[in-house]
Each structure stands twice: as structure tokens, then as C-alpha cells.
Amino acid sequence: MTEADQPVHLRCEPDPANPGWLIYELGPEDAYNRAVLGNLLCRREGDTCRVRLPIRPHHINSAGRIHGGIVLGLIDVGMFTGAYVLCGIEPAGAVSVDLQCQFIGPGDGKRSLDLVVEVLRETGRLIFLRGKLVQDDDLVASFSSIGRKPTRRP
């Protein structure tokens, strides 16, 4: 079995350090999701999924705010976290087809960033999502996206 054939490590289970939250860990430690973003926290909230990114020093830009690349990276990974929690769609092999983001306010480098994801529609191959990034009541960004579900191979 080659490295490309190895199953992707996914851990989504209750986090004893954060009651009411699941810890979401995808991929090996040196892969983008974990090396750059780190482990995420998530929980279902009715028809939405809240995905929390605890902010670390390397998420901050020179102005002391959350870097825009981290915002976009969280959306790209978090939309599939939401699809997994809300619809059971396996994230390994899923890809972003379209992502539109509107940066609305600065992200405070001292507070966690929450992505609130809503599934608009699911088809055989695609999932349509939208959401917002917030810090408490402060709106940082909004997004809409289309993801392609993983292809099942025999």
C-alpha cells in the first residue's frame, strides 16, 4: 500500500477539555489542516454546525489581527467539517469547487474564531453551503461555497 492509498486519519469525538464540543482532527500532524490550523472544535447547533478555531500565534498578521489566509483556510476546511457533522459526508477526498468570501471586519488575534456552517442543498455529487465567521457577536466574514463529495472507488 502506498502513502496515497493510506486511509486519512479522522477523529471526531467528544472533547473532555471542552464539554459539549467534539474535537475534530483530520490528517497527519504535518498536513495543512493540522500543521497550520491545528485541531478544531465543533458542535451541532440545530440546522448549523459551529466550528471553532482556537487562535495561535502563527494565525496572526503583522497588525495583530487574524490573517486573511487563515480565515479562508478555516472556511475551506470547516465547510467539510460542517458537512460531516450535519450530513455524514466523509471529508477525505472531498474538494472545494467554488468559494466566495466577503471579509467584513477584522479578526481579533486574542479570541477564538467560529465558523457557523449551514447546508443549503445536497445532491448526488455536490453540497452547497453558506455561513459566517464570528467572534462572539462580531462578524468577521461571510461565505458561500460548493463542495464536491468524495468519489467512491471500488
pLDDT tens string 22-60 = 999 877 888 888 889 989 999 999 999 999 999 999 999
CA distance 90 to 129: 15
Q: Where does the pLDDT of residue 8 fall: very low under 50, low under 70, confident under 90, or very high at 90 and above? A: low
CA distances from 89 to 63, 71, 77, 94 (A): 37, 22, 13, 9
Predicted pLDDT of residue 33: 83
1 versus 63: which is more confidently predicted?
Answer: 63
Q: Global pTM?
A: 0.90
